[in-house]
Structure formats: C-alpha cells, structure tokens
Copies of this chain bind each other. A is one copy, B any other.
Amino acid sequence: MLSRKKEIPEQLNERLATSGLRFTPQRQQVYNVLLDTRDHPTAEEVFLRAKHESPDISMATVYNCLDALVTCGLVRQVNVNRAATRYCPNMNDHCHFYCDDCGKVLDVNCTSAGPVAGAKVPSGFQVTHYELSLRGHCPDCAAKAAKLHH
C-alpha cells in the first residue's frame, strides 16, 4: 500500500450525491470501518477504529459522517434497549439478535412481510417501517452454558 491516490469509490460518491452530500475522506473512512467489521459498532467504537487510520478525526465528525451515511441510505441505525446506537451497513431486510451473555449483535434474515405478518395489525394502520429485535443466547454462549451443566 505505497501509493494512496485519490481513488474515489464511485458507489459511495454517487450515493452521497443523490442526497446532495459531498464525498469526503472522513465519510469514506467511517464507511470503511463499518464495512470492515460488521459487528454493529457504536459511534464510540467507530471513532476508535477510524482513529487508527486517521488519528485527527473527531467524535463530532464521526457522528456527522454516520448521519450522512444513514441519510443517503448506505447505513442503518440499530437500537437495542437504551444502549448507545449501533450502526449497520447491511441494507438488506433483516433484524437483530442481541446476546445477553456476550453482548454480540448479529444479523438475522427476515422477509419484509415476516415479522409484521406475525402481528395482528388492525386494518386502518399503515405500517411503513418495523424493527424486530431478538434477545437471548447466541450459539456460542448457549453451548458454553450447556457445558457448565455437564
């Protein structure tokens, strides 16, 4: 990685442009952090990871960049209980599993109709968004717990 030219990724650039936003190195950096490790980091965690590559980036900028990425539809916010908001670059229809033991947040596939169909929404209600979060024990932690009981 000796030459680091201005290779602006067109996909990010275009998406930003459609929302009237500019491409900036900070936005690129923040987006890369999210794509790099898809573990639903908080803004704080994104900040720490981004600082490795760009030591001068500020927390405010991380919030601003995350906001820009959400606005242009490349990233979504994930809220579990009232903990700090997490960020997810997977824009496919999915929901989230939160492990009460290790705290990991994992993607779970579900079709758009899926969870909403499971709810008995009375007629007259227009559902435009939904958010389903699941909590419990992830396979790893469930296995560990099983071992402790022999």
Contact = CB atoms under 8 A, between A and B. Distances in A.
B110 A125 contact: no
A117 B111 CA distance: 11
A128 B137 contact: yes
17 contacts: A97-B125, A108-B120, A108-B122, A109-B120, A111-B120, A113-B118, A119-B132, A119-B134, A124-B142, A125-B134, A125-B138, A125-B142, A126-B142, A127-B136, A129-B135, A130-B133, A130-B134
A76 B88 CA distance: 27
How many chain copies? 2
A141 to B, nearest CB: 9
Given A125-B137, A125-B139, A130-B132, A110 B114 contact: no
Interface residues of A, number: 38
A114 to B, nearest CB: 3
